Structure 1
């Protein structure tokens, strides 16, 4: 594709610009108040390419900027002369400016980025109603937490030193905080999806998004719901099992991001547990004669500064303890840490074991065993918690499913 574009250059530049203008213009044509549609946006994209061409060939880069000023002025004047007071037209004017810039990018050979941005811009324009509704459903606290996540990612992370400190050189502030950003980001995506519509789509998505945010919180919440409303026991069991299957998906994503070289062997182990658990969830789903709507799941925003600091501290502690015990008593040391820390949090020990693998302290089989022990400890803890809160009715439904997950994980690990 790239070679074909280069062969047909410069005609292909104008063809791609025309396609971008038609794409954005097609969406704007739907808006009665918009004073620019298919023809206008197509011409604007072509004008951007022409401006870039002339500036490039004549050595006068100001021609491109002059074209942008002329187009912007014309669009503003068109809206000032208009009669529609309900729409100031700022969105369309902004879209014209973007379209002009995309046309210029095409001439400079940035067609991959330009096409991706054109699709993104069209989606933003098309989903106006959904985006507005989403922003209205988020509370002030949610928006503050999103801003806090931005601070975690773009303010704190860049200034942290990227070097090892402490005994065993196990503590790297930049690496630790990067893992905090990764886990908080994954959880925040699930939290936002849960807040924006997960409850409206029933059991499967409630369990999926609940597990993305916090499988422990989801297990606790629905164990309580099962105790208070015994007729919801079947639905509660399904949601708890689904949420805990999502833990395996989360870990697979984390491994793929942090240590891609280990993704295949470790994900094969996780896949064993996922397949075994999914088969049981399917059977349990088929046995449900009645599927009432699940109660709303209320969880804390995972991107809050306090939550991030708590996970960062836990991760640093687990990382140091694992490195120390690995040095003192060998591989059994990290297995002990996995057993203890896995009771409440699998992410921290997973990241710690990946870090030790990177430092050469663990092999593939030992890293997989560490994650397996943490997962098994986590499964036992959640089964005990759910059974202790809700009683035998819930326990009879979740214990076989959790046992299936544990058995699938163990068999798959043995085959690594």
Structure 2
């Protein structure tokens, strides 16, 4: 390692200590001189000490086979000395927080990492450490409002993602290309994630604004998932108007997203179908804002409902997988001649996949046929979501959604018919 690199790494170790020390010193800025165990200077020195320990490790053991004994020994002595001084301060002030001890140990370790390991990881760790330390009030306030349902759902969601998913086989099973158990579970995680994010948005921003924001973000992932989730919640008794606003926002974003996909992958097809898709999106967005303005914006407070019900999420995921399986089977049955049929069947579950497929066929099929297939997929997807809203949601939610969806489709079809057709 050349001298310039060593100076850069050593400087990073000192910088990590300085930024942590700034936060610790600022938090205890009202203390008299000598009444705090560690501030800006001490934490800067802790980062410097960690970097120095790393340099000594390299000098003694060699960069190729560093045993870590030097760093470990200095780290142990530093931690014991710092903890002893912090203990005396805690007794005097009757404040028994161990945060500063952990922060000092982390600062030392990150300083050593900056010299011995990855500079990027060390810098990222320093930023994360300062962010956590500076977020004390926010985190404490969050914990005071956290309910058992929210904690349980968060733990369950993490377990589904990081424990269960890696254990599920990804190999497809069955005919017509088969079905991957991992893909099914990923869909379960997607639906649960949309529901959980919507719950958090409502709790933070209030009912109307939260649902609108959650729907718009969910539309980037799966407007079908948002529709199913909100339909189930409407049936359970939640206010239908903000749910409709969020669902229509998701569908508007989905139409805009598909237009961007098509424009990026197949510009000629986009110029033919794009005006109709944009019109559909604008009408849905208009209805979304209308229902948003008519809804009462209240905060959820300590709402007792679960962020997501796993049983309901599993049922909906299996339903979407079954529809996608039928669409894939129809593709093999009908072949290229049945593009419109395949587009309609694929649209029952999702638009993104068939949109990318059609855009990839731009050099082998006529633009008008591709645009019609595109439109059929969007129409089928909108009708399917209207059916989900009727079957799962019912009541005012399904009525409002059917009205807005019908108006949006009618406007989009009108624009498509009036737009001159062309071929390349």
TM-score of the superposition, structure 1-length normalised? Answer: 0.72
How do 1:375-386 and structure 2 match up within 5 A?
375-378=381-384, 380-381=386-387
Which of 300, 318, 327 aligns to 2:323? It is: 318
Matched residue, 2:178: 170
Matched residue, 1:66: 73
Quick check: 2:113–2:122 contact (8 Å CA) kept in 1? yes
Query: Deviation digits for residues 327-359 of structure 1, max 9, x if unmatched?
Result: 2234344444356xx4xxxxx535775898899
Query: Which deviates more, 264-273 or 38-47?
Result: 264-273
Matched residue, 2:395: 389
Matched residue, 2:221: none
Which of 244, 247, 259 aligns to 2:248? It is: 244
Quick check: 1:372–1:410 contact (8 Å CA) kept in 2? no
Q: Tell me the SS of whatever aligns to 2:170.
A: coil
Unaligned runs of 5+ in 1: 229-235, 343-347
Matched residue, 1:36: 38
Whole-angstrom distance in 2 between the partners of 1:101 and 1:398: 59
Question: Residues 116 and 166 (structure 1 numbering): CA distance in 2 closer, same or farther, change over 3 Å?
Answer: same
Q: Tell me the SS of whatever aligns to 1:9.
A: helix
CA deviation after TM superposition for structure 1 residue 55, in Å: 0.9
Query: Deviation digits for residues 106-163 of structure 1, max 9, x if unmatched?
Result: 2235222222222222221111222222233232122112121122112221112221
Which of 140, 159, 163 aligns to 1:155? It is: 163
Whole-angstrom distance in 1 between the partners of 2:47 and 2:351: 48
Whole-angstrom distance in 1 between the partners of 2:388 and 2:182: 32
Aligned pair count reads 382
CA deviation after TM superposition for structure 1 residue 261, in Å: 8.3
Please say which structure displays the higher CA radius of gyration: 2
Question: Residues 238 and 309 (structure 1 numbering): CA distance in 2 closer, same or farther, change over 3 Å?
Answer: closer
Matched residue, 2:102: 94
Whole-angstrom distance in 2 between the partners of 1:136 and 1:148: 20
Query: Which deviates more, 175-184 or 123-132?
Result: 175-184
Whole-angstrom distance in 1 between the partners of 2:234 and 2:169: 42
CA deviation after TM superposition for structure 1 residue 225, in Å: 8.8
Which of 200, 214, 220 aligns to 1:192? It is: 200
CA RMSD in angstroms, aligned pairs only: 4.8
Question: Residues 356 and 409 (structure 1 numbering): CA distance in 2 closer, same or farther, change over 3 Å?
Answer: same
CA deviation after TM superposition for structure 1 residue 166, in Å: 0.3
CA deviation after TM superposition for structure 1 residue 171, in Å: 0.7
Question: Residues 50 and 222 (structure 1 numbering): CA distance in 2 closer, same or farther, change over 3 Å?
Answer: same
How do 1:15-414 and structure 2 match up within 5 A?
15-32=11-28, 35-59=37-61, 61-82=68-89, 83-84=91-92, 86-108=94-116, 110-195=118-203, 197-199=204-206, 203-209=208-214, 212=218, 214-216=226-228, 218=230, 240-249=244-253, 264-265=264-265, 273-275=280-282, 277-278=284-285, 284=290, 293-294=297-298, 296=300, 301=306, 303-329=308-334, 330-338=338-346, 342=348, 348-350=349-351, 353=354, 368-369=374-375, 372-378=378-384, 380-381=386-387, 389-390=395-396, 399=403, 403-404=407-408, 407=411
Unaligned runs of 5+ in 2: 219-224
